[in-house]
């Protein structure tokens, strides 16, 4: 199966942006577009690196937590520990909600040729499912 890294990169930027934007809305934070875009790009670089390297550290929960902390810090800055932790929790809840919705859509659509390979969900399915399902890979590890 062929994985197009440019599609993975762009799709992850879009999903990261949506999740960070949602986090900002829920937390009633003034949203700075450029900070969210930069944070989204960093998260997307991680996703591409996850596909192209065999470094096991990328698949660990510690790496994912560190990435999410960095993304939230870049997107919203540091106010105090309590607010930063709140942003992080909301970021996770938004990620889980979007990932869960994508799983539900996949369950009802039942696309062909779906398989798991090294903890990554791959297969042929419509692009709108790919956009909605950015976190499927992260949640399954």
In terms of residue numbers, what domain contains 63?
Answer: 5-139
Among 63, 59, 65, residue whose Cα is nearest residue 137: 59
Q: What's the pLDDT at 63?
A: 86
> What is the pLDDT at residue 47?
84
Task: Reduce the DSSP state of residue 105 to 3 states and report it.
Answer: helix
pLDDT the model gives residue 111: 59
Gap between the Cα atoms of 52 and 49, Å rounded: 5
Averages of pLDDT over runs of 10 residues in the chain (141 residues) are 76 91 90 92 88 77 90 90 92 90 72 53 54 46 37
Q: How many CB atoms lie within 10 A of CB 99?
A: 21
Residue 21: per-residue pLDDT? 93
pLDDT computed for residue 138 by the predictor = 42
Number of structural domains (the chain) is 1
């Amino acid at each position: 199966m062929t994985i197009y890294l440019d599609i993975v990169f762009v799709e992850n930027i879009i999903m990261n942006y949506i999740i960070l934007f949602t986090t900002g809305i829920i937390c009633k934070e003034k949203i700075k577009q450029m900070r969210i875009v930069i944070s989204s790009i960093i998260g997307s670089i991680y996703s591409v690196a996850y596909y192209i390297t065999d470094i096991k550290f990328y698949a660990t929960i510690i790496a994912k937590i560190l990435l999410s902390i960095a993304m939230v810090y870049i997107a919203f800055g540091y106010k105090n520990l309590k607010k930063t932790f709140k942003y992080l929790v909301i970021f996770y809840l938004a990620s889980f909600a979007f990932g869960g919705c994508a799983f539900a859509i996949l369950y009802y659509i039942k696309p062909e040729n779906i398989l798991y390979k090294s903890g990554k969900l791959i297969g042929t399915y419509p692009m709108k499912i790919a956009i909605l399902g950015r976190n499927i890979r992260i949640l399954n590890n």
